[in-house]
Amino acid sequence: MIEWIIKLHPDFLRDLDKLDKKHIEIFYKKKEKIKQNPLRLKHLSGGENCYREEITRSIRLVYYVESNTIWLLTIGPHDKAYKEYLKRLHNLRQKLK
């Protein structure tokens, strides 16, 4: 079984600060589920190895899987999260090269 490591995009904590307490509590529960099996969810188009987790009907968590590392890219309102994740994914890939 793979031992998954979770890392945060540098801007991820700013996104988390914008959420209310209820959403943050849900996020931490979902984060544990993701760590157990990050590949169980819907793959996003436009970003290879990118997935989304529904926090609520309007809040999404988007993450990227590389090797045994799960990179949490963005969390926030549905439209904003999907728009922002491509920028952050590109930025992250540039830093990892």
Q: Could you read off the pLDDT of 48-88 as tens digits, one per residue?
A: 889 999 999 999 999 999 999 999 999 999 889 988 999 99
Name the residue with higher pLDDT: 1 or 90: 90
- Select 5-96's CATH number: 3.50.50.60, 3.30.2310.20, 2.130.10.10, 3.40.33.10: 3.30.2310.20
Please give the DSSP secondary-structure letter assigned to residue 3. -
pTM: 0.92
Q: What is the pLDDT of residue 88?
A: 93
C-alpha angle 79/84/90, rounded to 5°? 145
Q: What is the pLDDT of residue 72?
A: 97
Q: What is the pLDDT of residue 1?
A: 72
Is residue 28's pLDDT more than 90? yes
Largest CA distance in the chain: 37
